[in-house]
Amino acid sequence: MTEYTPPKVWTWEAESGGKFASINRPVAGPTHDKELEIGKHPFQLYSLATPNGVKVTIMFEELLAAGHKDAEYDAWLVNIGEGVQFGSGFVDVNPNSKIPALMDHSVTPPQRVFESGAILLYLAEKFGAFIPKDPAHRTEMMSWLFWQMGSAPYLGGGFGHFYAYAPEKFQYPIDRFSMEAKRQLDVMDRHLAENEWFAGEYSIADIAIWSWYGQLVLGRLYSAAEFLDVESYKNVMKWAKAIDARPAVTRGRMVNRAFGDDLSMQLHERHDASDFETKTQDKVAKD
């Protein structure tokens, strides 16, 4: 590993940065003009089935499963590898150019919501669902929700980047972020040893945390389950499997999914509940 001496003033080298170099840049704002499509439902979601993306599609599917008919939504695929998130319409919804981004057309003027945690909280409060009514549990839920938002960048941008995506593997950053990822799993495991859910009942805290850490221990992130010895976190594993068994979670994982070998789990766009039966990629490929 060659020692690096930072220059007095950093400058951007567009060709550096590994797998995602083509979409990373040190400035904000749109790169091209493109309006967003709008479907028939009040909620318009622009996303991709990354961990942050599935938080919101799981939430929508859970709301619908719980009988909240007004939670119907259109989900539009935003392929971040192609730079769709830098179109002018998307930047209007999320100036940070990250998925997911939501427009709520049920209010006047339409309300934009960006950042996955903010979207979860917005929907939970709007429908009075998956958010505890008990003040103590609500406060606990908020603590765990913000724990996830603050901790996951160390898992994704830290561990995931250096373990799976960096152009070269170096021991120091992999060790540094593996240690942190395992510390976070231990935080969860200790809490779940005495609690079925993170805040007294199944809530948006569980949805947010599962989308990252549940999928990690179930072997769906970075091919790192064995490396991190996830089976040793028995309470986390039990919790992750319980959430994974929920039908709404399975549907939520499918929406805006445009990767993976199982085409039956890919529903690029979702505009109606029947799309799960008729428009997954395995069926589209046969037409």
For the stretch 202-227, pLDDT in tens is 999 999 999 999 999 999 999 999 99
Is residue 95 included in any domain, yes or no?
A: no
**pLDDT of amino acid 287:** 73
Is residue 237 included in any domain, yes or no?
A: yes
Is residue 21 included in any domain, yes or no?
A: no
The pairs formed by 151-158 with CB atoms below 8 angstroms and a separation of 24 or more are: 151/184, 152/51, 152/212, 154/180, 154/181, 154/184, 155/180, 155/181, 155/184, 155/212, 155/213, 155/216, 156/51, 156/212
Compute the distance between CA of residue 68 and CA of residue 267 in angstroms, rounded to an integer. Answer: 22
Question: Does 251 have pLDDT greater than 90?
Answer: yes
Is residue 2 included in any domain, yes or no?
A: no
Compute the distance between CA of residue 42 and CA of residue 55 in angstroms, rounded to an integer. Answer: 19
Contact 268, 79 (CB under 8 A): no
**pLDDT of amino acid 123:** 98
Is residue 36 included in any domain, yes or no?
A: no
Q: What angle in degrees, to the nearest 10, is found between the helix axes of 234-244 and 171-192?
A: 80
**pLDDT of amino acid 3:** 84
How many structural domains does the chain have? Answer: 1
Compute the distance between CA of residue 193 and CA of residue 202 in angstroms, rounded to an integer. Answer: 16
- 50-83 confidence digits (pLDDT tens): 999 999 999 999 999 999 999 999 999 999 999 9
Contact 128, 192 (CB under 8 A): no
Work out the pLDDT band at 4, boundaries 50, 70, 90: confident
Q: What residue numbers bound the domain in which 235 lies?
A: 135-250
Contact 221, 227 (CB under 8 A): no
Is residue 256 included in any domain, yes or no?
A: no
- CATH number of 205's domain: 1.20.1050.10
Is residue 46 included in any domain, yes or no?
A: no
Only one residue has tokens 């040190």, namely 26
**pLDDT of amino acid 14:** 66
Question: Does 255 have pLDDT greater than 90?
Answer: yes
Both tokens assigned to 72: 């119907």
State the chain's mean pLDDT as an integer: 96
> 287 or 70, which is more confident?
70
Is residue 220 included in any domain, yes or no?
A: yes
Q: What angle in degrees, to the nearest 10, is found between the helix axes of 51-65 and 247-254?
A: 130
